[in-house]
Amino acid sequence: MSEQPPKRRKCGACKGDGHDRRNCPALRATQAENLAIPAVDNRNGVDGGPSRLPIGATMPEIIPNINWDKVCYVLFDLETTGGSRTKDDIIELAAMVLGPDGIAIEDGSFESLIRPHRKITPYITTLTGITNEMGKTAPTFPEVMNSFFRFVGGIVRSHCILSSTIVDAIVLVAHNGRAFDIPFLLRSLQGHNLQSLLSDDPRNGYFIDTLHVARTFLGCSAATPTNNRLGTLFQFVTGAEMENSHRAMGDVKALYTVFRSPQFWDRRIESLNAFPPIPAVDVSTESDSDESDSDTDSVEGRERVLVEQDIDESDPENEDVDEVLGDYWQDGEFIPSEVPEEMFQKFTERFSSPRRPGERRTGLQVSEGMANSPIKAWRLIFTTAILERIVKHTNKYGQKKLSLDWTPIDKADLTDFIAVLFVMSIQKRKDKPSNWFSSNPLLESPVAKKITTGRQFQKMLRYLHCCDPDQNATSDDGEYDPSYKILEFKNSLEKRWAALFVPHQELSLDETLLRAFGRMKFKVRIISKAARYGIKLYVVTDAATAFVMGVLVYTGKYTYSDTRSESTKKTVQVVQQLCEPFRGSHRTVYVDRFYSSVDLLKQLEDMQLYTTGTILSNRIPRSMTIAKSSREFKAMNRGDSVSHVLTYTTTKGERKQAGLVAWKDRNIVYCITNDTPTAPMDECKRRGQGGIVTIKRPQVITKYNRHMGGVDLADMRRLHCHSTIMGQNRWWLKLFFYLLDVGTSNALVLYNEAMNGKQEPYNIVDFKNKVVEALVGPVLVDDIPSDQSVAHCMTNISGAERQRCTYCSLKGKVARTRYMCKGCGVPYCCIGSGKTDKDCFASAHENEGIREICIRHYRMQQTNTRKDLLKKRR
């Protein structure tokens, strides 16, 4: 009997030999001729391509041109309980995100086990090493999918921010993805009604199957692998055997090596495919079974129930009303004000739809891995581009002033300068920099000497520039801004803040005063501020985290020159300039009585923003005010309140209403809002006759107190260890120090957001210490050497008040100082502590006997002070 020739594959389309239907050239040519490509939709992020169809719809086999410089790749692998898409479950998922150049993005790996609905068979356990005990403690499929797509979106967003590029398409890459991984993933998403996770991002919808690439392009010569398994391809590319196979992350790492090889990387464009339609039942891999199709406990049964309910979770009308409407809903029902009811008819209409359609998620906008260390969070704000621009301007200014005598600086010199500023702020030393690098052991700072030299620091301080020195702005220019020397640095930081952090629902807007005594046209005097004299700044922050979103420098009449406001009120124009980035976001802006007015409500209403704030009595109708001398005021008890309705006409001619509440505490407090009902009440505690009493308080006042302090919290965090140098009165240098501290404070917020729940939140001192260690190496900022002469060094007295110098008081003189010896704990005058040129600190420490007398005298003064306080209390 003659030997029969081996069977050859026969195509089911053209009936030819040597290929199958999937690789049939005739069928591909026919499909290409009959394919009608839809109109271009630029919203899908693909250059010249069709709109991405929803999951489950038929998509073309041939993909249009894609801008491959704007593509990110997600290599992934699945481990399952079997081969059936309807009965088996995914038990492990691993992925790796690559940039457009094919290089893995830092911290771009994802790996997680998934809890299955059925038991893992011994065969799967032997193959993968995943046991039933491991599956029981794993998160569920919806939890892992939400985390996975959030992770991929965060990594891609971080890549866009750091590389200043735009990603137009996200391509999934898998080995045997066309026949197994992609259909299994899509069917599992559909079975749990999670297909919106994939369809919400228009950049999705495409994949590459490396198995298809190997079958199509590697050929059958002797220089090709013996088969197309992933382990064989890995050995073919690297010459080594694959490790940790049949585990998701091991397969993804091997796939990364294979995909990056020239044989596959150069063929990725021809191998791009669109997502296939989700099959109704996968009969090709089903085993014979007598199970009933009506079993609702199976995955197929759950899918049928979801289809019958026809619920689209991506529809805003089906979202959780508590999540959409927040505090305005209780037990699923809107609670408007009881008196008057007509005021909140507009509220019911407004809040019945999502307040922020299409808004990005709030908070940290990059992945947690991009900000999981202090230096990473700090580098996200103070990027290399920002620091190099400062170095460029400083070198240009130095060459302009010193010509050939100028030695150029680099980025390392700038980071050393910033590190010294941080060290001095942690040690709370505000004396002259010459003392920090002094040879006198009583005045020097050993840590500062470890970082840089005194001459280099003084050089940086003298010639530091944040703008082009050739820029000569004058008041005759049409767009003149007196703060032009710091404007470029401020705008760069604000762009970084907006890209890295999206504020929550509530915004806080207030002013602050930066202490400055130099010559400037816009120096102001505010008696109510602790600094009294300085530069006035308008600041807007996220109320929840005190993250600074924008800063506006008050420069007199030029502050209001760049505005599109129709209002003539200057406070309204300031609020509009700061809130312009949030136009249309339906957020609530909390302001104090300095800004609040009916005109502000009109202007912010046109920007689709809402307002809540206290208001002066002369800015509301006289009929709604309550005078102290009136009978109504005397008849009110502490905690009583009166609600009113203000009707006003917007700039578009629409009639709107706002709530006004007058609440009596010690005096009458007026609060106006077009965002919060005024009738609901809660309680608060006050000190009154007989001790602590509980009084009623409108909830709008409670929310105002809760959210208004964002700017104050940001100032408290910054001033806890702020950077400043005595004797430097150049106004723009003060603003540079301010923006440096604010940017560092924002970096602290990013770091705490990234490490939420993983460790105790850092304070600003610990954060700066870690940043300094990362910039210049490990230095002990708070370390006090054992040498007795160095241990006694000058430091600031905690608190704002000066204390009497103990050495001067022994001689009958009266002199007050802000400094004390850190080793003795005794106040002393020192050089640079004020108008005096005495150095009581050095004089007392030269004689050990006098120093001991000072210590005993100071302790006796403290004891007498405590006795006097006790007598007063008694």
Q: From CA 204, how far away is CA 170, in angstroms rounded?
A: 5
Nearest residue to 264 via CA among 216, 333, 306, 221: 216
SS3 state of residue 831: coil
Nearest residue to 39 via CA among 58, 29, 27, 53: 53
In sequence order, the 6+-apart residues with CB closer than 8 A to the CB of 313 are: 193, 196, 319
Evaluate the CA torsion angle 348, 353, 355, 361 in order and state its sign. positive
Nearest residue to 728 via CA among 738, 718, 720, 719: 738
Q: From CA 425, how far away is CA 740, in angstroms rounded?
A: 12
Could you tell me the fold of the domain covering 68-274? Nucleotidyltransferase; domain 5 (3.30.420)
Give the pLDDT confidence score for residue 522 in this predicted structure: 85
Residue type, 527: I
SS3 state of residue 534: strand
Print burial letters for 300-331: b (CB count within 10 Å at least 16), e (below 16).
Answer: bbbbeeeeeeeeeeeeeeeeebeebbeebbee
Q: From CA 596, how far away is CA 572, in angstroms rounded?
A: 8
Residues of the chain with pLDDT under 50: 1-2, 32-62, 220-222, 278-359, 780-790
Give the pLDDT confidence score for residue 589 in this predicted structure: 94
> Where do the domains of the chain lie?
68-274, 374-470+724-776, 593-707, 788-873
DSSP-derived secondary structure for 391-443: HHHHHHHHHHHHGGGPPPP-HHHHHHHHHHHHHHHHTT--S-HHHHT-S-TTT
C-alpha pair distances (Å), 50 with each of 29, 39, 709: 20, 6, 49
DSSP-derived secondary structure for 575-608: HHHHHGGGTTS--EEEE-TTT--HHHHHHHHHTT
Q: From CA 657, how far away is CA 675, in angstroms rounded?
A: 10
Give the pLDDT confidence score for residue 9 in this predicted structure: 63
Torsions phi, psi for 513 (to 5 deg)? -120, 120
Give the pLDDT confidence score for residue 869 in this predicted structure: 58
Give the pLDDT confidence score for residue 94 in this predicted structure: 93
Give the pLDDT confidence score for residue 425 in this predicted structure: 87
Give the pLDDT confidence score for residue 288 in this predicted structure: 35
Evaluate the CA torsion angle 229, 235, 237, 243 in order and state its sign. positive
Q: Which helix (H) or strand (E) holds 92?
A: strand 90-98
User: In this structure, are strands 610-614 and 588-591 parallel, antiparallel, or unpaired?
Assistant: parallel
In sequence order, the 6+-apart residues with CB closer than 8 A to the CB of 78 are: 90, 92, 93, 174, 180, 181, 184, 185, 248
Q: What is the four-CA torsion angle of 564, 570, 576, 579, rounded to 10 degrees?
A: 150
In sequence order, the 6+-apart residues with CB closer than 8 A to the CB of 639 are: 663, 664, 665, 695, 696, 697
Give the pLDDT confidence score for residue 211 in this predicted structure: 87
Give the pLDDT confidence score for residue 61 in this predicted structure: 45
Give the side-chain half-sphere CA count within 13 A for 665: 13
Give the pLDDT confidence score for residue 290 in this predicted structure: 34
> Where are the extended beta strands (E) located within 477-562?
501-502, 506-515, 523-525, 533-542, 548-553
Nearest residue to 704 via CA among 484, 510, 444: 510
Torsions phi, psi for 660 (to 5 deg)? -130, 125
C-alpha pair distances (Å), 874 with each of 689, 749, 868, 870: 19, 45, 10, 6
Q: From CA 469, how far away is CA 66, in angstroms rounded?
A: 43
Tokens encoding 676: 């919060």
User: In this structure, are strands 333-334 and 363-364 parallel, antiparallel, or unpaired?
Assistant: unpaired
User: Is there a contact between 868 and 846 (Cβ–Cβ < 8 Å)?
Assistant: no
Evaluate the CA torsion angle 499, 501, 507, 510 in order and state its sign. negative
Residue type, 670: Y
Give the pLDDT confidence score for residue 476 in this predicted structure: 61
